[in-house]
Structure 1
Amino acid sequence: MLPSSYTVTGHALLGEELDEQCVSIIVEDGIIRAIESASRAPDFWIVPAFFNAHTHCGDTVAMDCPCSGSLADLVAPPNGLKHRILAKTPRPRLVEAMHASIQTMVRSGTRGFADFREGGADGVAALYEAAAGLPIAPVIFGREGGERDADGIGISSIRDVEDVERQVAEARRTGRRVAFHAGERDAGDVDEALAYDPDLLVHCTHATDAQLRDCADRAIPIAICPRSNWILGVAATPARPPVQRMLSLGCRVYLGTDNVMFVQPDMLQEMAFLSVVYNISAEEILRAAVAGSELTGRPYFIKEGDPAKITLINPAYGNFRFSENHLATLVRRADASAIEQNVLSMR
């Protein structure tokens, strides 16, 4: 874990443009006070920390359990498999499991995440307990009344939830965000979700061009979860989710890992999958892996005056010192072992 005050020198990816420069970054009390040009050989690759824009951490208790059936059979409320498992899981085990998954995120360079949390107010409290003491900031979208104690409301497909209009109105009245799952198995629920002017859509796996243009025009970000889509059988080609179309139409794309029941909450793995399967540029992929931090109100892109949410890649790891393109190597090849964990000597 990084100390509050330190200086680190290396090849840094600066700003939302991810402009690579050799610099020294001076951090005091957790804030980037100065970014100065450096001439000596860099110590690290300095990249913005990742933000996992969509998780279901509670589902850790069902990790890789034997299962079959449709998407609704597995995850739809109130009686999908995951909901039945969650209902019978003792709270201490739930907290322990979520804590373990959050630690996994921290070790792989993630400093924030947005979670759809089941279980009402107690479910939200359990997630806060699980994250306590770790260098990571959760943004929680509660359900079943839990949204009143969270940052917003996380609504499953509009097909699965009754009384959506009242729930959204209540969230808006109390100044909380509204997020929807939409377009995961088909495009039929996207327009209805858009009618509520959400702060975030999750998946849009089958969204049409018209729906994506609407998201772009209204600056509604989309959190994509490609590995989950493939594992759950709602995607089988690089056309779903339509990531290339999202980017070409001007959508704001966030990257998430989705359900820990099926997918490890590791943004490095998610980035590599997006690179290999979807042929998206490394720059766009890393930007999507950081941009979800906008949900915190203080994006993690490396800029003077902003909080220092950075990840350090040690180029002495494996064969990384031979890289001719640091950004591409990070996105395609890095795992948690490449992340420098101990920088206390930099005070």
Structure 2
Amino acid sequence: MPRSNLISRYGIIGEDLELKQNIEISIDAEGRISNLEFEDIKNDEISLKEENSNSLIIPGFINSHVHIADNFAKEGGYNRNLLDIVAPPNGLKHKLLRNTAKQVKLLSIKKGVEELLSNGITTFIDFREEGIKGINLMKEALEDNEIIYKIQGRYSNENEIEHIFKLADGLGLSSYSKVKPTHQQIIKSCKNRFNKLVACHDAENKRKPELFQKLIRDDIVDVIIHGTHYLEKDFRKIIKNKLTLVLCPRSNAYFGVGFPDIKAILKLRMKISIGTDNLMAISPNLFDEIRYLYFRAREMGLNNQSGLNAKELLKMITVNAARNFKLKESMGSISEGKLANFNIINLNDSNFFTQRLNRKKFFPLIIQRTKTENIKKTIIRGKVVHERKY
């Protein structure tokens, strides 16, 4: 027997994010979609004329890269150099994390998650500083929270590596330069034994070809964060070696470090995903993130023929993200058997008004016009975890 049912006028359904109508979803006791029914939209024109019945259900968003605990230090990096703020161990962020009371950091994480949920983010991947203590801090802060999170832990010495793998969901390296020869075999062994991912920042501030070649050759890293200064040949090596890539465009802009070669990324049809990075610098709004990516790409002369379209942008924060972090069996799309992680948007809100709306315009409308306040409900495992009453 289903635990609950959900009905929506419209929905973005399946791995290809297809627009359907008259959606009916049954959710089982484990919070998974047990039955999914919908109808094709036969006419090209989409009507939003019926008041109070134009809800849209879309997949819950996955934020592919976050540092949530620095939320208490908002704008500490404003107009300042990237390395002065985030480089371990003596960047401003790390000094603040060491010297800030535990209760402040716990509240920082909780308030950060409230903001994530309000923006429709149902899952986030956190790069957790402060080693074992940082992992335990996250778990304590969110022990009663419904949000789904994955911790990429960080070690300070080789004796911590195995313990980090046991406690966290994988490793989150600040730079591959931190991986010493004595660490490599330990990481490889733990990675295989625990079947967990290794993610790593690279080329955020500067391209370092020798370090990148070592990263590829050692075959330890699964996910690269940033790649802001990569060349097309670097992207080709990422594809060849079956790594995945996460971009953080607004963070790159905030710290003035550049913008990734989106033209090459689109040319190679890379299945990138998107993160919002440090909460101390960037608000965790994935609609803002993909809009900014779109605007910068258009500035470069890219268009639909380049592979830049609204549906592909939406995939970056749903199906691509799930794939990149090996979560696709449980999330990323509205599909039978997956977790019932959704957002419900009210298409009757004034900012969606348009005289004529067809299927071609629908995805651009959602991507370009949706504001945080349009997300009326955020649902995780079939449970409403955030709701707007207005």
Distance 2:377 2:148 in 1: 18
Give 3-state SS (helix, strand or coil) of 1:234's partner: coil
CA offset at residue 319 of structure 1? Answer: 2.8
Distance 2:243 2:125 in 1: 16
Residues 1:88 and 2:111 are matched in the alignment: no
Residues 1:20 and 2:19 are matched in the alignment: yes
Give 3-state SS (helix, strand or coil) of 2:350's partner: coil
Aligned match of 2:144: 133
Aligned match of 1:264: 283
Aligned match of 2:304: none
Change (3 A) 1:330 1:200: same
Aligned match of 1:303: 335
Q: Match for 2:200: what amino acid? A: F
Structure 2 counterparts to residues 177-256 of structure 1, below 5 A: 177-188=197-208, 189-197=211-219, 198-235=221-258, 240-256=259-275
Paired residues of 2:154 and 2:171 also in contact (CA < 8 A):
yes
Q: Match for 2:312: what amino acid? A: E
Aligned match of 1:293: 322
Residues 1:74 and 2:85 are matched in the alignment: yes
Change (3 A) 1:244 1:130: farther
Deviating more after overlay: 76-85 vs 170-179 = 170-179
Change (3 A) 1:342 1:307: closer
Q: Match for 2:61: what amino acid? A: F
Q: Which of the pair has more CA radius of gyration?
A: 2
Change (3 A) 1:74 1:164: farther
The structure 2 residue matched to 1:99, chosen from 110, 119, 123, is 110
Paired residues of 2:23 and 2:37 also in contact (CA < 8 A):
yes
Distance 1:119 1:255 in 2: 24
Q: Match for 1:178: what amino acid? A: V
Paired residues of 1:215 and 1:251 also in contact (CA < 8 A):
no
Change (3 A) 1:277 1:48: same
Paired residues of 2:216 and 2:241 also in contact (CA < 8 A):
no
Aligned match of 2:154: 143
The structure 2 residue matched to 1:174, chosen from 180, 194, 204, is 194
CA offset at residue 38 of structure 1? Answer: 7.3
Change (3 A) 1:244 1:66: closer
Deviating more after overlay: 209-218 vs 48-57 = 209-218
Q: Match for 1:155: what amino acid? A: L
Paired residues of 1:55 and 1:116 also in contact (CA < 8 A):
yes
CA offset at residue 125 of structure 1? Answer: 1.5
Paired residues of 2:235 and 2:265 also in contact (CA < 8 A):
yes
CA displacement 1:30-89 (0-9 Å, x = unmatched)? 222122327896531121111000000011121112666532221111111111010001
Give 3-state SS (helix, strand or coil) of 1:341's partner: strand
Q: Match for 1:327: what amino acid? A: F
Q: CA-atom RMSD, angstroms?
A: 2.5
Aligned match of 1:118: 129
CA displacement 1:248-278 (0-9 Å, x = unmatched)? 2132201110111110111122122122222
Distance 1:206 1:89 in 2: 33
Paired residues of 1:228 and 1:263 also in contact (CA < 8 A):
yes
Deviating more after overlay: 253-262 vs 60-69 = 60-69
The structure 2 residue matched to 1:320, chosen from 341, 352, 357, is 352
CA offset at residue 282 of structure 1? Answer: 1.2
Distance 1:336 1:167 in 2: 43
Q: Match for 2:176: what amino acid? A: I
Distance 2:78 2:196 in 1: 35
Q: How many residues align?
A: 340
Aligned match of 1:337: 373
Distance 2:198 2:378 in 1: 38
Deviating more after overlay: 187-196 vs 56-65 = 187-196
Paired residues of 1:219 and 1:252 also in contact (CA < 8 A):
no
CA displacement 1:3-40 (0-9 Å, x = unmatched)? 95122222211222211111313122222212232789
